């Protein structure tokens, strides 16, 4: 029987493995990819899609098409649990997929427990495809009247969503929206002061109100309640409160880091089950915990591909080196960005153009494997 390699999620850390899937199939392995959507969306361009800079087709990878054209099997479904002893993945709905080697790139999610009733009003910044629904809803409501949009969270994804909501509602047929960022204690508090100041200046120039000094405690339908007792109303509420790794590993009783991410060693291999690997936001890298940014998922690609091949062929694994500091560029809408690496910080049109160029190149590279 052929050795079975199963990938859960075709996320940013699996891009190279997907691109070289035909090579694994030629070596005689049966490769299966499980994903709840036929497409994987590139998060770096998600806020830009919300604002209307990019069309959904420009920011997504046709996972199913790539997998099937390269001789693999694609299973449309959500992995719910892994049974590492029986070596099966259990899908929502109960179907099972057996594996000999498993690689997990299931990403992270935004907890939104504070909202009692999420129907139609509340959106999370992930999954990225949800931003398409949010965009439709905002456009529909703003076509009728001036609405209020609230973004809960004071970090990078919050300012990107706020800025791109402004870009969206500046559209000619729409009523301008009131936009409020509920930033908790302080806007962008974990970033250097210059980044904080630039973010504040750009948001304020775009008439985006920043509410600080208290955290959101509860959201009930359209009512936002702060811990200090203040209350606000909004038509659309985004949660951008940070992400948590997929809970699939906790649900499976597999060793995790303190945040619930799959505990992996230097070789991106589960510390408990050597035939399970992982990359991206869903892992906890034991040697040195990593920030949950796409940069690390992208850097893990060659090592993950190499180690899956090596493990299947019973060869030596390669360690992952996270590398040094990374470049971050935030898209604040209206063609304006904030660029930040080491002490180099600047904002404006050039920063956005650099981001747009890098993001489009990344998409071009991996979308080329679709043909």
Ligand X SMILES: Cc1cc2nc3c(=O)[nH]c(=O)nc-3n(C[C@H](O)[C@H](O)[C@H](O)COP(=O)(O)OP(=O)(O)OC[C@H]3O[C@@H](n4cnc5c(N)ncnc54)[C@H](O)[C@@H]3O)c2cc1C
Q: Among residue numbers 226 through 255, which ones bind ligand X (CB under 6 A)? A: 246, 248
Work out which of 5, 6, 10, 103 binds ligand X, going by CB under 6 A.
10
Q: Does 347 bind ligand X (CB under 6 A)?
A: no
CB 246 to ligand X: min, Å: 5
CB 243 to ligand X: min, Å: 7
Token digits for 36?
């709840």
CB 142 to ligand X: min, Å: 21
User: What mask, x for binding ligand X by CB under 6 A, covers residues 174 to 213?
Assistant: ----------------------------------------
Work out which of 17, 32, 43, 142 binds ligand X, going by CB under 6 A.
43
Q: Does 276 bind ligand X (CB under 6 A)?
A: no
Q: Which is nearer to ligand X, 133 or 231 (CB)?
A: 133
Q: Kind of pairing, strands 101-104 and 4-8?
A: parallel
Token digits for 299?
């850097």
Token digits for 217?
């405690």
Q: b/e per residue, 338-360, with b = 16+ CB within 10 A?
A: bbbeeeebebeeebbeebbeebe
Cβ 239 vs Cβ 123: under 8 Å: yes
Q: Kind of pairing, strands 337-341 and 328-331?
A: antiparallel
Q: Which is nearer to ligand X, 108 or 270 (CB)?
A: 108
Q: Which is nearer to ligand X, 235 or 281 (CB)?
A: 281
Query: Using CA atoms in the order 259, 263, 265, 267, what is the torsion angle rounded to 10 degrees?
Result: -110
CB 60 to ligand X: min, Å: 9
Q: Which is nearer to ligand X, 142 or 239 (CB)?
A: 239
Cβ 71 vs Cβ 30: under 8 Å: no
CB 333 to ligand X: min, Å: 12
Max CA separation in the chain (angstroms): 64
Task: Give the three-class secondary structure for 350.
Answer: helix
Work out which of 5, 6, 13, 241 binds ligand X, going by CB under 6 A.
13
Cβ 333 vs Cβ 52: under 8 Å: no
Q: Who contacts 89 (Cβ-Cβ below 8 Å, separation ≥6)?
A: 6, 8, 34, 79, 81, 82, 83, 96, 97, 98, 99, 102
Q: Does 157 bind ligand X (CB under 6 A)?
A: yes
For residue 212, give the nearest of 294, 124, 290, 152 by alpha carbon.
Answer: 152
Q: Does 356 bind ligand X (CB under 6 A)?
A: no
| Distance, CA of 73 to CA of 30 (rounded, Å) | 8
User: What mask, x for binding ligand X by CB under 6 A, covers residues 63 to 102?
Assistant: ---------------xx-----------------------
| Distance, CA of 25 to CA of 19 (rounded, Å) | 12
CB 106 to ligand X: min, Å: 4
Cβ 103 vs Cβ 308: under 8 Å: yes
CB 125 to ligand X: min, Å: 4
Q: Does 280 bind ligand X (CB under 6 A)?
A: yes
Give me the residues that bind ligand X (CB under 6 A), please. Answer: 8-13, 34-37, 40, 43-44, 46-47, 78-79, 105-108, 125-126, 157, 160, 246, 248, 280-282, 292-295, 297
């Amino acid at each position: 029987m052929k050795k079975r390699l199963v990938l859960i999620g075709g996320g940013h850390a699996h891009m190279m493995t997907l691109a070289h899937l035909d090579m694994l199939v030629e070596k005689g392995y049966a490769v299966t990819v499980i994903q709840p959507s036929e497409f994987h969306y590139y998060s770096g361009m998600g806020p830009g899609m919300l604002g209307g800079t990019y069309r959904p087709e420009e920011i997504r990878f046709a996972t199913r098409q790539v997998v099937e054209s390269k001789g693999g099997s694609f299973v449309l479904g959500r992995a719910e649990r892994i049974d590492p002893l029986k070596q099966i993945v259990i899908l929502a709905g109960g179907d099972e997929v057996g594996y000999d080697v498993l690689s997990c790139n299931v990403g992270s999610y935004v907890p939104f427990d504070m909202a009692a009733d999420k129907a139609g009003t509340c959106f999370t910044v992930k999954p990225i495809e949800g931003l398409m629904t949010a965009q439709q809803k905002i456009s529909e409501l703003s076509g009728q009247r001036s609405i209020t949009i609230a973004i809960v969270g004071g970090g990078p994804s919050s300012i990107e969503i706020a800025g791109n909501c402004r870009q969206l509602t500046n559209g000619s047929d729409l009523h301008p929206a009131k936009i409020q960022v509920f930033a908790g204690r302080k806007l962008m508090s974990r970033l250097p002061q210059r980044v904080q100041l630039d973010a504040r200046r750009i948001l304020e120039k775009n008439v985006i109100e920043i509410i600080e000094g208290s955290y959101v405690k509860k959201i009930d339908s359209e009512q936002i309640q702060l811990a200090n007792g203040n209350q606000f109303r909004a038509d659309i509420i985004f949660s951008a409160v940070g992400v948590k790794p997929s809970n699939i590993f906790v649900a499976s009783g597999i060793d995790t880091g303190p945040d619930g991410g799959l505990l992996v060693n230097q070789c991106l291999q589960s510390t408990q089950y050597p035939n399970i690997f992982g990359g991206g936001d869903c892992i906890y890298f034991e040697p040195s915990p990593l920030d949950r940014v796409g940069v690390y998922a992208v850097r893990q690609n060659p090592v993950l591909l190499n180690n899956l091949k090596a493990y299947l062929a019973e060869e030596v694994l390669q360690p992952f080196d996270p590398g040094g500091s990374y470049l971050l560029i935030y898209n604040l809408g209206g063609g304006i960005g904030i660029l930040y690496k080491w002490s180099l910080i600047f904002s404006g049109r050039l920063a956005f153009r650099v981001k747009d160029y890098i993001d489009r190149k990344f998409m071009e590279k991996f979308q080329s494997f679709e043909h």
